[in-house]
Structure 1
Amino acid sequence: MLPASLVLVLASLLLAELAASPALAFDPPTYNATVWKAFAAKTLLTPFPELHTDPYEASPPINTTWPAVPVCAVVYPNEPDRSSYKLATFPTRAAAEAAPATFVTHLHPCGLCSTTQDLAVYMAKPDLTDPVRKCGLETAFDKKLALDCLLDIGFSKPCAQIWMYDAINSFKHCLEPCIKAWIEHTPNNVPPNSYNMNPCLACDQEKSGPVFGVVAARIRRDSGLRSSINRPPSSIANITHYYY
């Protein structure tokens, strides 16, 4: 029999190893068509207004300092009927989870892409890089074509509009690295399976990401969703979507 002191040491080492193990990081589930189709079919009772001006050209510039604590939640006012819903920003996750018929849908305040329709798009299409890039190229010729392209992906109109303006801004600032990545079929992460984004995605995140994040609000990792862009497990919020 091992001495008690040695058992304690081994137990401590095992616990430390388990605590550091990536297996204990949040492992986002994959949602099937039943789930995302249910979310896509819901009606938002207080729709967002359309976005008629480019937020990247705002004067003064948009404050991109993201409040860390608030969360956006789906609220079902007619529970158990979940065909319609409202969106509400709560001061903390605990406050949202304590409210009746209320479910946290992503970290940070609500915005144009917080709708369940847009959540459904993110669920159904884990890799939006290529389809959104295709729509983004349309902005060089016709904004309406670009917007229609984004609407065809399934986004709500206000969400499609901020995606369009994101593409316009990235076209201005990231054209060279993005054309190069497109021609060379560069993977999203370089080297593959690392957390380093390719130069196009890195440029987009730096030049367009801050404004997009504040205006759109919903991004994959803050919604607990997988992405085709490899991210550190610690950056993915522990949020699940079984409130459909």
Structure 2
Amino acid sequence: MKKDTPYKVSLLAYVRSHLLLLLVALVVSVVLGDPSYQEQFSFVSHRLLQTTINNSNGLAGFRTCDGCFCIVENEGEMCPIDPPFTNFTSIIPTLRNLTLSNPIGPDAACNPYTNETCALTPSQNLGGGACVVEMQEPLTDFSSCPESWSYHLRTFSGTFEEATQQRLFVTHNGSCGACSSLQDLAVYMEQGANLREASSRCGALGLIDADRAIQCFEEIGFSTEWATIWYFNTEKTAEACILLCAPFVLSGNSPNGDPPTCPLAPCIDCDETQAGPIFRAFAGRTRRNSGLLSDIIRPCDQVVRVEQVDPCARATLAPSMAPATTPPSSSIRWGFPVRGAICTAVLLSLH
């Protein structure tokens, strides 16, 4: 029998405990026959359900837009009552202990923001609908998962919906890229809304020493591939948005404006426009396309529903593949100009 996820359990518990109250209220509204009562009941019950799930789902540490975890863009629509799950404590150790057999990154030191011929190695279908994890059982060491187990990333050419319908192990929407590893996913989960604070000192180190700054990011837990594409993104944002982002970083302003629209701050919006498309294409994973929340509130249609589960629970569903190889270490280090370091702290909470 399939075991319910913590999120499903909390939802079922809520519905069961409040079912009688909701039924009574519904009957009263119908008997009265007044559309205004029915509309008020719908709004109040929806908001009550939303608030209860938000509290049980650990959303207290994340920003909201008028109480919603995302931005409702169409007038008349209500906040979705199924916010992303945020407590991944039980699966983070497993994500960290699995080895990626095919690390994906920009070709050599090619900067995709300045060189249109740059490509990911191994190459990926940038139009793919989902990044899929394929577990690889050890061929010589029969330890239980995750010890000695590894995994392979594959871009699924069909749509995201088709991948989920086929019950593939989808780790995020869109093609795989430099940030698609489960290692990077674990860091996103672990840091949650605190990633900016945890990594701000790394950005400061970039003013002095590039190698030390990248090492700092790796000490937080990120992969070298993640650090590479993020550096390129930082450079682009610094070049295009420095006049907007310098005062933003120094002021400590919120990344979103006031409700009900909660618009992106000018610095964040500039990065989204100028650097975002290439970053998403080469990075693959962002928090919102992985079903995770971040320090920035995004439109509801951008927060993809991805069920992040224990990889070992899916291990028997994937075919065995060739033995994993140890990811090559990278000795490439890039310059880290002052303008790039200025924007690093804010960029770390963008994607």
TM-score (structure 1 length as normaliser) = 0.80
Task: Please report how far the alpha carbon of residue 61 of structure 1 lies from its aligned counterpart in structure 2 after TM superposition.
Answer: 8.0
- Maintained 8 Å contact 1:54/1:165: yes
Supply the distance in 1 between the matched residues of 2:178 and 2:208 (Cα, whole angstroms).
25
Match of 2:173 in 1: 107
Task: Please report how far the alpha carbon of residue 243 of structure 1 lies from its aligned counterpart in structure 2 after TM superposition.
Answer: 2.9
Amino acid paired to 1:221: R
Match of 1:237 in 2: 304
Alpha carbons of structure 1 residues 211 and 23: separation in structure 2 relative to 1, 3 Å? closer
Supply the distance in 2 between the matched residues of 1:175 and 1:207 (Cα, whole angstroms).
12
Moved more, 203-212 or 33-42: 33-42
Match of 2:322 in 1: none
Amino acid paired to 2:133: V
Match of 1:117 in 2: 183
Supply the distance in 2 between the matched residues of 1:111 and 1:10 (Cα, whole angstroms).
50
SS of residue matched to 1:105: strand
1:182 correspondence with 2:249: yes
- Maintained 8 Å contact 1:139/1:167: no
Alpha carbons of structure 1 residues 135 and 98: separation in structure 2 relative to 1, 3 Å? same
1:172 correspondence with 2:248: no
Supply the distance in 2 between the matched residues of 1:78 and 1:234 (Cα, whole angstroms).
36
Match of 1:37 in 2: 93
Match of 2:103 in 1: 47
Supply the distance in 2 between the matched residues of 1:192 and 1:171 (Cα, whole angstroms).
28
Supply the distance in 1 between the matched residues of 2:103 and 2:118 (Cα, whole angstroms).
25
Supply the distance in 2 between the matched residues of 1:168 and 1:143 (Cα, whole angstroms).
13
SS of residue matched to 1:196: coil
Supply the distance in 1 between the matched residues of 2:219 and 2:259 (Cα, whole angstroms).
30
1:114-140 CA-to-partner distances (Å, cap 9, x unmatched) read 110010111111243455565455556
- 1:96 counterpart (152, 155, 163): 163
Match of 1:84 in 2: 150
- Maintained 8 Å contact 2:131/2:173: yes
Supply the distance in 2 between the matched residues of 1:193 and 1:123 (Cα, whole angstroms).
27
Moved more, 154-163 or 76-85: 76-85
Give the share of equivalent positions with the same residue, in percent.
Answer: 29
How many corresponding residue pairs?
A: 237
1:81-109 CA-to-partner distances (Å, cap 9, x unmatched) read 45311111111235434557x31111111
Task: Please report how far the alpha carbon of residue 220 of structure 1 lies from its aligned counterpart in structure 2 after TM superposition.
Answer: 1.0
Supply the distance in 2 between the matched residues of 1:164 and 1:240 (Cα, whole angstroms).
29
- In structure 2, the gaps of 5 or more residues are 1-26, 47-75, 120-125, 139-143, 312-351
- Maintained 8 Å contact 1:193/1:230: no
1:159-198 CA-to-partner distances (Å, cap 9, x unmatched) read 1100111111112122222110122111111237853122
Amino acid paired to 1:75: E
RMSD (CA atoms): 3.5
Match of 1:70 in 2: 129
- In structure 1, the gaps of 5 or more residues are none
- Maintained 8 Å contact 1:136/1:168: no
- Maintained 8 Å contact 2:189/2:292: yes
Supply the distance in 1 between the matched residues of 2:39 and 2:199 (Cα, whole angstroms).
47
Task: Please report how far the alpha carbon of residue 15 of structure 1 lies from its aligned counterpart in structure 2 after TM superposition.
Answer: 11
Larger Rg: 2
Task: Please report how far the alpha carbon of residue 203 of structure 1 lies from its aligned counterpart in structure 2 after TM superposition.
Answer: 1.4
- Maintained 8 Å contact 1:117/1:155: yes
- Maintained 8 Å contact 1:72/1:105: yes
Supply the distance in 1 between the matched residues of 2:184 and 2:212 (Cα, whole angstroms).
20
TM-score (structure 2 length as normaliser) = 0.58
Supply the distance in 2 between the matched residues of 1:117 and 1:60 (Cα, whole angstroms).
28
